[in-house]
């Protein structure tokens, strides 16, 4: 193999993950990847320091993605009047003010609108804008800087954060009694915008408490407080920053030996997927950071979905998983997520109409989860089952021995044992 082929093979997965995260269409992503590889091959001799190959080719991919979106913007002929949206969106904590991009642009000065339109929408570079407007390039840079700051100031004012009830309800120390009843009704489709397994919607101002309860004792073993605190960007991809504080975290969530663990996430919500982009925590006095480009280091805990794309937002029953009581039959796929029925979930005195979303053996991890969602796409109840031999090297026994009293299910003949449940303050 040539030097180029060797270097490309070493970082090809990272480049693919980057582009797949940037573009929602796989066909378009594949086209961009081919353009990236061709450009990199043609310009390879211009790269003086080959040790910087990965950063260099990712920057090419980033430019190709930006060019793609500029072309899309230029080809979109839609009246601004058609792009209006509700200024206020209800939430369980109050109201959040939403500032549409186009509304923000309209509120800028004519000079700011002009320079943003030329650079970001029409795709002219700074030299071309200088010639087009007959102004020095230094003036172009200054106007762009000012316009960007004015846009950010107007698009993300302090009022965007929800008026949150700071005295959020604490979840009980003992898991409330609940019943799950299968309904003779067709399961409904749902828009599910929560992060897989962490229950928070990655939107500015969102705030959530949730807890883990072990079985059969039903004791609260971990308590989590989460909040979306602001916008963030990782590897050129925009998302939001989420802080998480975990009290007495379970072994699987511990970042150190402390009783309180703190994590930071960067996550993204699009029209089609909700996904983790990065996670960081302190361990052994060292801040450790993992991103979606970190392959096997990222995937086991955060990299859900085919090609690490996240969980789907728009869910409908597909028939990939068939449930008959405790017997589950599933198709053979590396990532399997499906609606398996409609259920009434009663927790304490409250009754919820839900669908059950099952996640089976993400990346062959030996874990099955049941996630009961209401029509708002919020988690009412989350239940975890471990394959009988899951993490046997750590726990030294099968789960039928560790938790002999707990509920069991079978998936394609394999036994799974109920371990713990989660609920959030949404149900209180």
| CATH number, position 144 | 1.10.10.10
Provide mean pLDDT across the span 373-381. 94
State both tokens at 389. 């031999």
In this model, does residue 141 exceed pLDDT 50?
yes
Q: How far apart are CA 81 and CA 85, in angstroms?
A: 10
Query: Taking a C-beta distance cutoff of 8 angstroms, is the pair 204, 230 a contact?
Result: yes
Domain shared by 59 and 116, yes or no? no
- Dihedral, CA atoms, 14, 17, 21, 23, nearest 10 degrees? 110
Percent of the chain past pLDDT 90, that is, above it, reads 47
**pLDDT at 356 > cutoff 80:** yes
Residue 169's pLDDT is what? Answer: 47
420, part of any domain: yes
The count of domains in the chain is 3
Query: What would the pLDDT profile of 163-207 be if each residue is shown by its tens digit?
Result: 333 333 478 999 999 999 999 999 999 999 999 989 999 998 899
Distance CA 310, CA 298 (A): 12
242 assigned to some structural domain: yes
Looking at residue 380, its pLDDT comes to: 96
Range of the domain at 147: 100-155
Q: Per the structure block, which two tokens stand in for 421?
A: 């449940």
Can you tell me the distance from the alpha carbon of 193 to that of 420, in angstroms, rounded to the nearest whole number? 23
What CATH number is associated with residue 37?
A: 1.10.1740.10
Distance CA 224, CA 214 (A): 15
- Are the CB atoms for 319 and 338 separated by under 8 Å? yes
Tell me, yes or no, whether 151 and 183 share the same domain.
no
Q: Are residues 269 and 301 in the same domain?
A: yes
163-172, 225-234, 274-283, range with the lowest pLDDT: 163-172
pLDDT on residue 123: 65
pLDDT of residue 86: 34
Residues 312, 356: one domain?
yes
Last residue of a domain, one of 121, 155, 189: 155
**3-state secondary structure (DSSP) of residue 7:** helix
Encoding tokens for residue 277? 């982009």
Q: Are residues 354 and 390 in the same domain?
A: yes
The residue count of the chain comes to 428
What three-state secondary structure class fits 120? helix
66 lies in some domain: yes
Greatest CA separation for the chain = 79
Together in a domain, 141 and 183: no
Cα–Cα distance, 368 to 350 (Å, whole number): 26
Question: What sign results for the dihedral spanned by CA atoms 151, 152, 157, 160?
Answer: positive
142 plus 248 within the same structural domain: no
Q: Tens digit of pLDDT for each residue in 310-334?
A: 888 999 999 999 999 999 999 887 7
367 phi, psi to nearest 5 deg: -130, 135
Q: Name the pTM for this structure.
A: 0.65
Distance of CA 211 to the CA centre of its chain: 20
139 and 56 in a common domain: no
- Return d(Cα 316, Cα 221) in angstroms, integer: 33
Does the residue 87 lie in any domain?
no
The pLDDT of residue 257 = 66
Q: What is the mean pLDDT of residues 73-86?
A: 39
Q: What angle, rounded to 10 degrees, do the helices at 126-133 and 137-155 form?
A: 110
**In a domain? residue 94:** no
Does 124 share its domain with 200?
no
Average pLDDT over every residue of 390-407: 93
Residue 82 maps to a domain: no
The answer to whether 221 touches 423, Cβ cutoff 8 Å, is: no
The predicted model gives 384-402 an average pLDDT of 93
> Could you tell me if 111 and 257 lie in one domain?
no
Does residue 357 lie in a domain region? Answer: yes
Question: Angle at CA 81, nearest 5°, toward 76 and 84?
Answer: 95
Q: Are 117 and 192 part of one and the same domain? A: no
Give residue 12's pLDDT band: very low, low, confident or very high (50, 70, 90): confident
- Same domain as 335, residue 213: yes
pLDDT at position 93 is 34
Res. 5: pLDDT tops 60: yes
Question: Does residue 163 lie within any of the structural domains?
Answer: no
């Amino acid at each position: 193999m040539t030097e180029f082929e060797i270097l490309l093979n070493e970082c090809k997965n990272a480049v693919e993950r980057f582009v797949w995260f940037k573009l929602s269409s796989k066909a378009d992503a594949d086209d961009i990847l081919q353009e990236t590889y061709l450009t990199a091959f043609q310009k390879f001799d211009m790269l003086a320091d080959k040790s910087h190959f990965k950063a260099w080719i990712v920057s090419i991919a980033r430019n190709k993605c930006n060019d793609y979106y500029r072309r899309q913007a230029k080809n979109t002929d839609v009246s601004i009047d058609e792009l209006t949206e509700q200024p206020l969106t209800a939430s369980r904590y109050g109201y959040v003010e939403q500032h549409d991009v186009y509304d923000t642009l309209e509120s800028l000065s004519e000079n700011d609108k002009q320079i943003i339109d030329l650079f970001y929408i029409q795709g002219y570079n700074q030299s071309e804008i200088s010639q087009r407007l007959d102004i020095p390039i230094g003036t172009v840079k200054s106007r762009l800087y000012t316009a960007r700051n004015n846009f950010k100031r107007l698009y993300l004012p302090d009022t965007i954060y929800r008026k949150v009830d700071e005295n959020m309800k604490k979840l009980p120390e003992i898991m409330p009694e609940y019943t799950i009843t299968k309904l003779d009704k067709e399961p409904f489709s749902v828009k599910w915008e929560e992060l897989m397994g962490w229950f928070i919607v990655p939107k500015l101002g969102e705030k959530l408490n949730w807890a883990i309860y072990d079985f059969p004792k039903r004791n609260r073993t971990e308590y989590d407080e989460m909040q979306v605190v602001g916008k963030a960007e990782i590897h050129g991809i925009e998302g939001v920053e989420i802080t998480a504080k975990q009290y007495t975290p379970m072994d699987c969530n511990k970042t150190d030996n402390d009783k309180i663990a703190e994590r930071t996430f960067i996550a993204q919500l699009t029209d089609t997927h909700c996904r983790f982009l990065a996670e960081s925590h302190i361990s052994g006095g060292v801040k450790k950071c993992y991103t979606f480009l970190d392959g096997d280091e990222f995937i086991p805990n955060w990299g859900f979905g085919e090609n690490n794309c996240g969980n789907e937002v728009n869910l409908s029953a597909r028939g990939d998983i068939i449930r008959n009581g405790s017997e589950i039959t599933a198709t053979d796929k590396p990532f399997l997520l499906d609606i398996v029925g409609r259920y009434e979930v009663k927790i304490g005195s409250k009754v919820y109409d839900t669908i059950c979303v099952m996640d089976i053996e993400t990346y062959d991890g030996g874990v099955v989860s049941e996630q009961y969602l209401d029509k708002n796409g919020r988690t009412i109840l989350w239940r975890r089952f471990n394959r009988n031999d899951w993490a046997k090297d750590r726990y030294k026994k099968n789960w039928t021995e560790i938790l002999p009293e707990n509920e069991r299910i079978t998936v394609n003949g394999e036994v799974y044992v109920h371990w713990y449940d989660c609920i959030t303050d949404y149900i209180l």
